[in-house]
Structures are given as structure tokens and as C-alpha cells.
Structure 1
Amino acid sequence: MPNAYSRAEKAHAHDDRNAVRLQKILAQAGFGSRRKCEEMITDGRVEVDGELVTELGTRVDLEHQQVRVDGSRVRINPNHVTLALNKPKRVLSAMEDPKGRYTLRDIVGDKYERIFHMGRLDYDSEGLILMTNDGELSQHVMHPKYEVEKVYIATLEGKLSGTVCRRLVTTGVQLDDGWIKLDHCAIIDSNRDTTIVKVVLHSGKNRIVRRIFGSIGFPVKRLVRTQIGPIKLGEIKPGSYRVLSQTEVRSLSKAVGL
């Protein structure tokens, strides 16, 4: 069993200008009030460099030490920012375009240094795009190993039956690059000419939702991404964005194995 007392003693050795009390770090990372964070420490839920810490006086330097709560890593960098942006149609998922088309840079401006989009939406699709200047987070969100769940609302040409919707989940369809299944498919509304469906899938392949429905004869007329992992589009207006809270960044980090 980890030696909590020796861990606390070692942590105190980092008691320089960069060392901060452990409960303050947890509070800054969005785990709740200082009192709640103190309870997490005394309850034995916090590790520093792989060893259990229960001493409330423990000070930690996050530049040189790693903190985990219930096995999930605590990551705080005041220079890092992560945004949730609502991309309108006819905006390029890029930071610049030689052809002069409207890009994500035109929405976020130059306020955030080295910020970049995590994944894309095609030119005519809308909805949630995540952006960050945290390279490690970006790498994990976009890595195929950590494909996070994505939710879309698709407006289709034609009347899609519930049977076909269920078949896309149970059997899937074969595309040029292999078989693909939806994780979830639900009809929200339909009439003779149009069907609105909610779809959930993990794949990050290019134009995947449009390709799936197009392959079975239901072209997508409108596509809006409403969620990536635990992060929801919510009330963000098209062409606007908001900064994610530490709690939201922590939940996203956990979803992609950080």
C-alpha cells in the first residue's frame, strides 16, 4: 500500500514558489469547493506521482508532479483555453483559406495564441466544433484510439422508416472504406418528403453521416452536430463560441483518456 506519510513529506520538498496546496489545485480544476476538495483528499481519493496523499498540508508543483483523482489526471495550465464554437454553414473548418472563404479564424479572431480546431465539420454542415491551444488534449481528442461519441441532428430527403433506422445500428452499411454502424438512430419527426433523425456515432471519418444516409438513398439536406463527448452545443448562437469551464475540460480530458 502506498505510504501516504512519506508522499506528503516528499511533496513538501517541492515547497517553492510554484508549489500550491493540493486542495487549491483541485478546486481550480473544477472539483468543487475547497472544503469538498479537502474531503476528497482525506477520503483517500487523491494520488500524487502514483502515491496516495491524505495530508491536507501537502503542496504540489504541477510542473514536476502528477495529480490524479479517482485515477483521472488533474491538468491545469493558465495559458490553455478550450472553446466550444457553433460553426454556421459555408464556414471552412480551418484557420485560413487561400480562396478567401470564411474560416474559424474569422469567428475567434486573434485573441487566443496557437488555438486550433479539434476535428472538422464539412463546409455545408453546422454545429459544434471544439478548439484549443492544449496540444496534448487536441492529440487525444483527434486520435482514432479515443474516438469520442458525437451526436448529430440530420434532416434527410424522403421518409425514413424506423426499421431502416434500427438496421443502421444493428447491421450498418458498407461504404467504400468498409462497414460502418451507427451507435444510435432515432426519428425525431417525419413527413412524406423529409425525415429528421438524431444519430450518435464514434467514427470521425470525413463526411461520415452524409455518406451513410446517401448510400441508402436518403441524402442529407441539413446536418448539425450537437455534442462531442460530454460537451454540448447548448445555446451557443451560430458564429459564436464560449470558453469551457475547468469542470468541462476535465470531463472532456477524462473521456479521451487523460
Structure 2
Amino acid sequence: MPHSYSRATKAHEDSAHAIRLQKVLAQAGFGSRRKCEQIITEGRVEVDGELVTELGSRVDPGSQKIRVDGSRIHINNRHVTLALNKPKKVLSTMDDPKGRFTLRDIIGDKYERVFHMGRLDYDSEGLILMTDDGELSQHVMHPKYEVAKTYIATLEGKIGGNVCRRLVTQGVHLDDGQITLDHCAIIDQSREHTIVKVVLHSGKNRIVRRLFGAVGFPVKRLVRTQIGPIKLGDVKPGAYRVLSSVEVKSLEKEVGL
């Protein structure tokens, strides 16, 4: 069914309080902007009883009735954002048909609409941010904002400072482009391994493992300790904490909100 608005409904688009429909859905906890746009184009959204499938439609959530799949939505002005410490062997997803452990097994059912902002691979550990704020999630994950991420990596073998310098100044050309580190520092090393702290903006899949693998030092263990201004802190593996309002504000500032 095509997008349709009655004359009375159309008038709400000119309201001072009118905002884009996909933004309203994101604020209500239905996911990222892309996910909310998909919900609209799939014909699952009604505004004042009329089906809306056109992206860019503006609505006034304070005076109009908006329904998704027949249920009226309510904008959540009190979002929650979590810092979760993902252990190894946990999938960065909310559900797994094979029954493997997921992020849902850690947070339970307390936060129904919380979803993860970014991922860590199955064997990596550390900080994953989760929220029910679709707009915040969209900005954190968008390549435009390139939020810095900090990792502690344990490498096979003993590397010299020249390797770190090369990765910062020259980088490495991988199959999906040239990658450089913002920071690389040796924390500890022995004959068998080296522990380094690295900071980079790229969010490409398995980027730290691929980067060090390309220069001959496979990663034995990888822990993400910080995303933008948010630090993992003393959160134990398999646990999480709720970010303070000050932390959320600092994250929003980092991503242009």
C-alpha cells in the first residue's frame, strides 16, 4: 500500500514539534536508523491509523498516534547505556540459533530493547557498549565519527619498537585498505610474547588481529579496554555496569550529538 496522509494528518508535518518518523522509532528503542527505515519501508508503521512507507515523513509524536505492528509506541526519554565486559566464547549478538552464549545471556531480560553498538569477535574480550537509544547507536557506529578504540593485545614473539613506529607512521596495506594505528606502545615482553597497547579508529572486522598478523606477530589474546571516552574499568568478565549521565554526555559529545 502506498504512503498516504489525510489532509488533517499532513498538517502535523508543519508542526514545530514534527521530527522524522525513523528518528521517532529510534528514540522508542527499535534500533539504528537503518533498522527503523527498514521497518517503515516494510509497511509496519501506522500514523493516526494510516500506513506510512515513505522515508522522510515527519510526525509529531506528542499529538499523533504511532503504531508498529499494531502496537502503539512510546518514546523513551530516559535511555539506558551499558558498558559490558564480553568474555571469550560469547557471540556479539542477542540471539544464536545454535544455542551458543550471547550478550543476552549476560544482561538477561531486564533491558528489553537494549542492543549492542559494534562487535568483538568470538575469541576477543572486553568492552562492548549497549543502549536502547537508536540515535546514539547510529552515531557511535557510523564511520563518519570514527570513535577511537583502545586494546591490549598479547602477541606471539618479541617485537621491537620499530614495529610499533611503523604501524603508526606507515601502517599496513590489507585487502580492504591501508590501516594505521593512532598509538602503539609496548607494555611488557618476554622471549615468547609481547603485550602492547594500541589505539585506532577503524572499526573493520578483526582489524587488530589482521594488522599484527600481517607483520608476522599473531595475536594470542585481545582485550578492548576503551571506546571513545568510555573505559571498561573494573567490570568483571561476563558482567556490566550502567553508564552515568556524565559518561553518556561525554560519549554523545564525542559523536556529535
TM-score, structure 1 length as denominator?
Answer: 0.70
**In the aligned structure 2, how far is the partner of 1:113 from the partner of 1:201?**
32
**In the aligned structure 1, how far is the partner of 2:199 from the partner of 2:193?**
19
| 1:83 matched residue in structure 2 | 82
Alpha-carbon distance, 1:255 to partner: 0.3
Q: What is the number of residues matched between the two proteins?
A: 185
| 2:199 matched residue in structure 1 | 200
Letter in 2 for 1:133: D
| 1:223 matched residue in structure 2 | 222
Letter in 2 for 1:139: Q
For 1:173-184, list aligned pairs within 5 A.
Answer: 173-184=172-183
| 1:115 matched residue in structure 2 | 114
Alpha-carbon distance, 1:78 to partner: 4.4
| 1:212 matched residue in structure 2 | 211
Alpha-carbon distance, 1:217 to partner: 0.7
| 1:171 matched residue in structure 2 | 170
1:150-177 deviations in Å (ceiling 9; x for gaps): 0000000011110111110000001011
Gaps of 5+ in 2: 1-61, 64-74
Alpha-carbon distance, 1:77 to partner: 5.4
| 2:242 matched residue in structure 1 | 243
Letter in 2 for 1:239: G
**In the aligned structure 2, how far is the partner of 1:137 from the partner of 1:205?**
19
**In the aligned structure 1, how far is the partner of 2:78 from the partner of 2:107?**
16
1:152-210 deviations in Å (ceiling 9; x for gaps): 00000011110111110000001011110000000000111100000000000000000
**In the aligned structure 1, how far is the partner of 2:243 from the partner of 2:208?**
26
| 2:12 matched residue in structure 1 | none
Q: Which ranges of 4 or more aligned residues in structure 1 deviate by more than 4 Å? A: none
Letter in 1 for 2:105: D
Q: Report the 3-state secondary structure (helix = DSSP H, G, I; strand = E; otherwise coil) of the residue aligned with 2:256.
A: coil
Q: Report the 3-state secondary structure (helix = DSSP H, G, I; strand = E; otherwise coil) of the residue aligned with 2:162.
A: helix
Gaps of 5+ in 1: 1-62, 65-75
Letter in 2 for 1:243: V
| 1:6 matched residue in structure 2 | none
1:44-82 deviations in Å (ceiling 9; x for gaps): xxxxxxxxxxxxxxxxxxx89xxxxxxxxxxx9543100
| 2:14 matched residue in structure 1 | none
**In the aligned structure 2, how far is the partner of 1:79 from the partner of 1:249?**
12
**In the aligned structure 2, how far is the partner of 1:79 from the partner of 1:103?**
25
| 2:184 matched residue in structure 1 | 185
Q: Report the 3-state secondary structure (helix = DSSP H, G, I; strand = E; otherwise coil) of the residue aligned with 2:144.
A: helix
Alpha-carbon distance, 1:147 to partner: 1.3
For 1:90-109, list aligned pairs within 5 A.
Answer: 90-109=89-108
**In the aligned structure 2, how far is the partner of 1:178 from the partner of 1:142?**
19
